[in-house]
Structure 1
Amino acid sequence: MKIDKKNHEDGIVEYVLENASGMKVELLNIGASITGIHVPDRNGNLSNVVLRNDSLEEYKGNLHLLGATIAPVAGRVKDAEIEVDGQKYRFDKNDGNHTLHSGELGVQNKAWESGIVEEAGVEKVKFTTKIDNYPGDPEINILYSLGEDNTLKLEYDVRSAGPTAVAPTNHVYFNLNSDLEATVGNHFVKSSASHYLKMDDALIPESIEACEGIFDLREGRMLQEVFDSSDPQIEVANGGYDHYFLLEGEDHFEVSEVDSGRKVTMTTNFPGFVFYTGNNLDEGLPLAGRKPQKYMGFCLEAQASPAAAHMDLGFRIEASGDYRRRTVFRFSVED
């Protein structure tokens, strides 16, 4: 595996990771973003299977957060406040009465420090940012590494000077089609996850529910079936999934596309993830290569849900000192 570094104008730094089989991953210091993942189809043809902005400069705005790392707290914070060490911390409200993706405190459109490091004989790209004027003044690190088995590993290393609350994630959108105008409606999703978080009309989780009906993915389900569903939870999310699935033990999540044969399998030691199916993408999105439209990509946002701040989910987003979490995306081809 090799890593190349490219310096662009206005302080933009790009990294390109490539393994011996030709899989290539492109990263950007703006938002510690994933801008490209090039993997083969069943005929060996490489395509970029993630959505990317039309230019690198777009990542300084990045309305839909394509490929960006979101911190300190990804997702919606109910009533725009959390409690840390007995004290209330209030975010700015940018989503009705709530806060989405940390509001003005978010670092997803900012330049992160970056460099190439080596750990246990593995070269990685490391991005670092510090979040001041927030409990614990946390330092957020994310490390990317590419395996020869076509696995992309994301490692989140958070360090704080005291009690804090963190729930970072990466917001990369996948589309496994070789047809650059096709949506993800033809993607087949499968998971053994048994519970998800039901949401209210403001998309704030309110209860833990069993994965039944349209949320039962044990046998697999085509996404177009979800998009056509009249399930109230699908309708409240604007016609798709935007829900947190709880994971236990060996639970994982896989998405495949039959025409190309591509499959991505996600494993993580986070307690769950948001599965978002691009319900709010629109035709005005400045996409490179693909046709901008609703359902053009899906996200697998592994994280500790901020709903843990107001619900008993069996885990917390409060932390102190150091902790590390990981998410692995494995790309393969089915005959």
Structure 2
Amino acid sequence: MAVKTSSRLWGQVNGADVFLFRIGNESGAYVELTNYGAAIVSIVVPDKQQQLENVVVGFPDLERYLNDTCYIGSTIGRYANRISNARFRLDGKIYQLDANDGKNSNHAGKSGFNYRVFTAETIDNGVVMTLTSADGDGGYPGTLELMVIYTWSDDNELMVSYKATTDKATIANFTNHAYFNLSAFKSKIYNHKLTVLSEHIVDSYEDYTPSGAIIPAKQKAFNNDKLGDKFKIDESQVEGLNLFYVINREAEDNTLANAALLIDETSGRSLEVYTDYPGIFLYTGDYLSSTAPTHTGKPAKPFDALCLECQHYPDSINHPNFPQAILQAGDVYDQSILYKFGTI
């Protein structure tokens, strides 16, 4: 097989071994992952001149991840995005979560999977990472078993699959929080062109929790539009985009729906996103900041990169009109995201 996976010990967290994995293909393009937070560390892909460069925010050592507050590259769980008032009712019982975003819970608060060391094993073309989350972890019901499967292909496709089971009804919503910059950080994201295969967004309040309405995207729609044309560029005052887009077409059996296309014309790099999740959350990195330098040698700053987080509807449990993300005992959570890198 042309794709090969290697690993090396990267450090320890609370006595647990943390590894850095590399999955490379014959062209020299590769992905680096770590089992701390089941995170993407780097994605090194060619530009139109066949120059290989990293296109995601990441850190060159484990210690910097331990102090990260921006979920850089991490697996998000138990529930991606916000739960309003950090509480929900399920089967007649109210569950209280960690309020880490004002009165709301975001990305599961301090119990988030981005802080956990996963068990990991390599396969020929990837890495399988697993985690057990105990009943009551972060306030969530049910003992949850999560498997995150990363694979890399000769065609520079990174597939991320989530499989989970629970012994008690719970809510579950996993995604990856990679921050992309296809220019390899030679410029900010303002000139990146984005297409989102969506005509509707979830309306939200100023604290980014949903109002409950699903509305036409109108001026927030993206059809090969420059990001900088869609929001006010003022790095001293945050005015980017934090929006959940409802994907136009539901994934059919055994296929993933086209969700988004990101292009950097200068480098010629492109990123296609496919998923069987119902939506994609666009976050333009408004609050991105790192005290430690990233791979670039400099700390991350607002609008250095953006997230395209495929996921279930935010706060769906508190909005009966939304498609629900309830995982029942005996059922299997099975969702995937495909990031396909290319050139134009």
Aligned to 1:191: 196
1:313 CA displacement: 5.0
Indicate how the Cα distance of structure 1 residues 109 and 167 shifts in structure 2: closer, same or farther if over 3 A, else same.
same
Match of 1:173, SS? coil
Q: Distance in 1 between matches of 2:108 and 2:225?
A: 32
* 1:191-243 deviations in Å (ceiling 9; x for gaps): 22010112112111112110101x121x321011123279xxxxxx9311111
Q: Choose the corresponding residue for 2:214, options 199, 208, 212.
A: 208
Determine the structure 2 residue equivalent to 1:234. Answer: none
**CA apart distance, 1:99:** 0.7
Residue 268 of structure 2 corresponds to residue 271 of structure 1 = no
Give me the TM-score of the superposition, normalised by structure 1: 0.91
Partner of 1:63: 69
Are 1:150 and 1:331, in contact at CA under 8 Å, matched by a contact in 2? yes
SS of residue matched to 2:266 = coil
Task: Give the match for residue 228 of structure 1.
Answer: 232
2:239 is aligned with 1:239: yes
Task: Indicate the residue corresponding to 2:21 in structure 1.
Answer: 15
Judge conservation of contact 1:154–1:327 (CA < 8 Å) in 2. Answer: yes
Q: Alignment partner for residue 301 of structure 1, among 300, 309, 331?
A: 309
Equivalent residue for 2:88?
82
1:233 maps to what in 2?
Answer: none
Q: How does 1:98-137 map to 2 (within 5 A)?
A: 98-117=104-123, 123-132=125-134, 133=136, 134-137=140-143
Q: Distance in 2 between matches of 1:290 and 1:301?
A: 26
Q: Is 1:252 matched up with 2:259?
A: yes
Question: Does structure 2 retain, via aligned residues, the 8 Å contact 1:181–1:290?
Answer: no
Report whether the alignment pairs 1:323 with 2:338.
no
Q: Does the Cα contact within 8 Å between 1:61 and 1:109 map onto a contact in 2?
A: no
Amino acid at match of 2:221: D
**What's the CA shift for 1:283?**
6.9
Checking the alignment, whether the CA contact within 8 Å between 2:210 and 2:314 is kept in structure 1 is no
Structure 2 matches for 1:163-174, cutoff 5 A?
A: 163-174=169-180
State the AA in 2 paired with 1:294.
P
- AA of the residue aligned to 2:91: D
| Counterpart amino acid of residue 296 in structure 1 | D
Q: Contact conserved, 2:209 with 2:314, CA < 8 A, in 1?
A: no
CA distance in 2, matches of 1:279, 1:157: 30
Matched, 1:92 2:98: yes
Q: Does the CA contact (< 8 Å) of 1:183 and 1:296 recur in 2?
A: yes
Separation of aligned partners in 2, 1:42 and 1:329 = 18
Matches of 1:330 and 1:204 in 2, distance apart?
A: 30
AA partner of residue 133 (structure 2): I
Instruction: Give 1:116 shift.
Output: 1.7
The TM-score normalised by the length of structure 2 is 0.89
Is residue 11–residue 62 contact of structure 2 (8 Å, CA) maintained in 1?
Answer: no
Calculate the aligned-residue CA RMSD, in Å: 1.9
Superposed displacement of residue 55, structure 1: 2.5
Determine which of 27, 37, 41 is the counterpart of 2:43.
37
* Counterpart Cα distance in 2 of 1:6 and 1:155: 23
- Residues 1:146 and 1:54: Cα distance change in structure 2 (over 3 Å): closer
How many equivalent residue pairs? Answer: 322
CA distance in 1, matches of 2:149, 2:259: 21
Distance 1:283 1:93 in 2: 22
- Where 1:108 maps in the other structure, the secondary structure is helix
Runs of 5+ consecutive residues of structure 1 not aligned to the other structure: 231-236
Distance in 1 (alpha carbons) for counterparts of 2:233 and 2:34: 37
1:24–1:39 Cα contact (<8 Å) kept: yes
Describe the SS at the equivalent of 1:8: strand
| Equivalent residue letter for 1:274 | F
Percent of residue pairs bearing the same amino acid type: 26
Query: Separation in 2 of the partners of 1:45 and 1:59?
Result: 27
User: Which segments of 5 or more consecutive residues in structure 2 lack a partner in the other structure?
Assistant: 250-256
- Alpha-carbon spacing, 1:87–1:65, altered in 2? closer, same or farther (3 Å): same
- Tell me how far 1:281 sits from its aligned partner: 1.8
Q: Structure 1 pair 222/7, CA: closer, same or farther in 2 (3 Å)?
A: same
Which letter does structure 2 place at the counterpart of 1:252?
A: A
Distance across 2 between alignment mates of 1:155 and 1:244: 20
1:152 is aligned to 2:124: no
